[in-house]
Chains A and B, each alone.
Chain A
Amino acid sequence: MRAVRRDARHLWRSLLAAKWPVLALVILGVVALVAAFGPWLAPFDPARQSIASRLAEPLTTGQGATHWLGSDVLGRDVLSRLLHGARVSLLVGLAAIAVGGVIGVVAGLLAGYFGGWVDDVMMRLADMQLAFPFILLAIMFLVVLGPGLGNLILVLGIGQWVTYARIVRAETLSLREKEFVEAARALGDGTASILFRTILPNIVAPLTVIASFNVASVILTEAALSFLGLGVPPSVPTWGSMLAESRDTLLANKWWLAVFPGLAIMLTVLSFNILGDWLRDALDPRLRDRA
């Protein structure tokens, strides 16, 4: 655990010296707040349709409140839908990372610590998954399973385990020969304790870096899948599905329907990427080549 505390102290000092990561953290803080409290912040019910205020331009006032970012074909408020969509994007991103991270960390620890056939099987499986673009795999499963939050998180999570497994395996391989691991073994610690309490805390730094980049790419993939109609059911507004709907009014130049959801995705993903860059430089410059 001391390794984790040392990393945290180091991070805090380098954060104070940087500008961009601070901005990224502020943006992510706002997104997190919106995801948590969006339903209370939204000026309208995101599902409420209104024929009177169809396709209202941004800053139009209608039905007692202002459509700050305009309204869509059904008269639903764009801002309110964006605020609700933040919840899905963030939830899916973080939950998929949790699923993929847990599978990947356990697989990587086992493969790195035991080696032999365990290692062979895990790494061949990983190679196979990396052998073709993940979005194709996701499409194949989601078409059959049908859209849904759980399915989406599961499929996206399974798409990420390889990244974690490889990093954890590599780190474990070098750590298992170190004196402090030897010492734990000599003291009679069980295998589980050695893996999770002695080795894992020393891998937290690279894992944090990978996770940050990973959230960014998962949010992008989720948006793409929602855009294809394979995300959560249509009743839940998401940034990706809002973009999909915006295609129908694009030719009529209803730009606000396309611009704002995309900006929301871009700012969130950008913030995670900036955060990842900074974490990498601060915690583990060796990852530069791998991430």
Chain B
Amino acid sequence: MGVLVARRLLQSVVVILGVTLISFIALHAGGDPTYLFVSERATAEEIALVRQALGFDRPLHVQYLSFAADLARGDFGTSLSYRQPALDIVLGAFPATIELAVFAFVLAIALAVPLGVVAALNRGTAVDGSITILGLLGQSIPNFWMGIMLILFFGLYLRWFPISGHVPFLLPLLNGDLATAIGNLPRTIYFLVMPGIAVATYSLARNTRLVRSSMLEVLGQDYVRTARAKGLDERVVIVQHALRNAWLPVVTMIGLEFGFLLGGVVVTETVFSYPGIGRLLFNAINQRDIPLVQAGVILLAGNFILLNTAVDLLYARLDPRVALARRR
């Protein structure tokens, strides 16, 4: 176990270094990055000055080392549009994004399991057919378009849900204000419903199909037949014997799933004017605020990597077979 932990941690350090290398390469992919930091009307002297100030006149390997060292100290540079440290701005938007991702994540898992089971138990019927078709549809709808359609129908036409905005829950919680956090929670969820559904659609569809097919496989196994032959209640057979094994493929995907949702959040937040990292990135992209884009992307990626590492280690603890399989 100790070896496994050490190896997995070392792996994630290497990957995080890889991410910094990739973002460094990206910064230089278009030639001299100085031009990304000056206005179009800048004179040659101004450009030279900025180049020197930002250190772009140094050899590339020196630049990368100092870039990586800065990142390690938490210095992601100064945002061009906010004139503040990029990291602070991104961290400020982080709690809202976490709320959205967690909500969508819960939705994607909590609905996928019953839907998949129902489809499998009614194999070949109209119920199964509709769930299968909905699953295919869900995997084919761009999440931001799903958001726009929800806004049009449930927001503007039926007026059931707010079409934009956010009530913070994590932020007061992090500040130690438990009463405000709990008082906010119902409204937090109310505002999260539509963006949450939009973000969750793809994962929900994919997980439903996954649960359905693995449930079908499990239902044909001998131990399910044995359980039925013993005269066990059908509900016990399904929940305790079949489902426990059938949702393993979903469980093994959980880490990746969350990262996938974080990616979807980036675009969907823009649709709902949701004040998280996604909208921040969108604005930074439009203003070509490079340090802010880099800080946002690196932080999201770093988060994803750490989360995956944690989930992997957790599995290895829960299920020794996973530890063996992951080694391959």
Chain A contact residues, CB within 8 Å of chain B: 127-128, 131-137, 139-141, 143-146, 216, 220, 223-224, 227-230, 240, 243, 246-247, 250-251, 253, 255, 258-259, 262, 265-266, 269-270, 273-274, 277, 288-289
Contacts of A274 in B (CB 8 A): 136
**Contact between chains at B304 and A227 (CB < 8 Å):** no
> A256: shortest Cβ distance to chain B, in Å?
11
Contacts of B297 in A (CB 8 A): 136, 139-140
Q: How far is the CA of A289 from the CA of B216 in the complex (A)?
A: 13
Contacts of B301 in A (CB 8 A): 131-133, 136
**Contact between chains at A131 and B33 (CB < 8 Å):** no
Contacts of A258 in B (CB 8 A): 145, 148-149, 152
Q: How far is the CA of A19 from the CA of B138 in the complex (A)?
A: 20
A-B contact pairs, 30 of them (CB 8 A): A131-B18, A131-B19, A131-B301, A132-B15, A132-B301, A133-B300, A134-B263, A136-B263, A136-B297, A137-B26, A139-B266, A139-B285, A140-B22, A140-B297, A143-B26, A144-B26, A144-B27, A146-B30, A228-B270, A229-B286, A230-B285, A243-B145, A243-B148, A247-B271, A250-B148, A258-B152, A259-B149, A265-B145, A266-B137, A274-B136
Our pick among B18, B23, B149, B294 for the contact of A262 (Cβ within 8 Å) is B149
**Contact between chains at A250 and B15 (CB < 8 Å):** no
Our pick among A132, A141, A223, A288 for the contact of B26 (Cβ within 8 Å) is A141
Contacts of A266 in B (CB 8 A): 137, 140-142, 145
B241, CB-defined interface residue at 8 Å:
no
Q: How far is the CA of A265 from the CA of B213 in the complex (A)?
A: 27
**Contact between chains at B36 and A144 (CB < 8 Å):** yes
**Contact between chains at B285 and A143 (CB < 8 Å):** yes
> A101: shortest Cβ distance to chain B, in Å?
21
B115, CB-defined interface residue at 8 Å:
no
Chain B CB within 10 A, most for which of A141, A224, A251, A273: A224
Contacts of A132 in B (CB 8 A): 15, 19, 259, 300-301, 304-305
* Size of the chain B interface, CB-CB below 8 angstroms: 51
Chain B, 166-194, contact with A by CB distance < 8 Å: what is the 0/1 string? 00000000000000000000000000000
Interface contacts beyond A132-B301, A223-B144, A273-B139: sample of 12 additional A-B pairs, CB < 8 Å, sorted by A: A132-B259, A133-B263, A136-B300, A137-B26, A143-B288, A144-B30, A216-B139, A230-B285, A243-B145, A243-B148, A258-B145, A258-B149
**Contact between chains at A265 and B304 (CB < 8 Å):** no
B239, CB-defined interface residue at 8 Å:
no
B199, CB-defined interface residue at 8 Å:
no
Contacts of B27 in A (CB 8 A): 144
Closest A residue, CB atoms, query B266? A135
Consensus secondary structure, chain B interface: helix
Closest A residue, CB atoms, query B31? A144
B251, CB-defined interface residue at 8 Å:
no
**Contact between chains at B285 and A229 (CB < 8 Å):** yes
Chain B, 67-102, contact with A by CB distance < 8 Å: what is the 0/1 string? 000000000000000000000000000000000000
Contacts of A223 in B (CB 8 A): 142, 144-145
**Contact between chains at A135 and B15 (CB < 8 Å):** no
Our pick among A230, A243, A273 for the contact of B140 (Cβ within 8 Å) is A273
**Contact between chains at B137 and A133 (CB < 8 Å):** no
B308, CB-defined interface residue at 8 Å:
yes
Contacts of A140 in B (CB 8 A): 22-23, 26, 293-294, 297
Contacts of A141 in B (CB 8 A): 26, 29
**Contact between chains at B267 and A228 (CB < 8 Å):** yes
Q: How far is the CA of A143 from the CA of B143 in the complex (A)?
A: 22
B290, CB-defined interface residue at 8 Å:
yes
Given contacts A266-B137, A274-B136, contact A228 B285 (CB under 8 A): yes
B260, CB-defined interface residue at 8 Å:
yes
> A146: shortest Cβ distance to chain B, in Å?
7
Contacts of A139 in B (CB 8 A): 266, 281, 285, 293, 297
Closest A residue, CB atoms, query B273? A247
**Contact between chains at A227 and B263 (CB < 8 Å):** no
B161, CB-defined interface residue at 8 Å:
no
Given contacts A139-B285, A250-B151, A270-B137, contact A145 B30 (CB under 8 A): yes
Going nearest first, the 10 A-B pairs with the smallest beta carbon separation are: A133-B263, A262-B145, A132-B301, A270-B140, A269-B140, A140-B26, A131-B15, A128-B18, A135-B263, A136-B297
Contacts of A229 in B (CB 8 A): 282, 285-286
Our pick among B23, B28, B148, B304 for the contact of A133 (Cβ within 8 Å) is B304
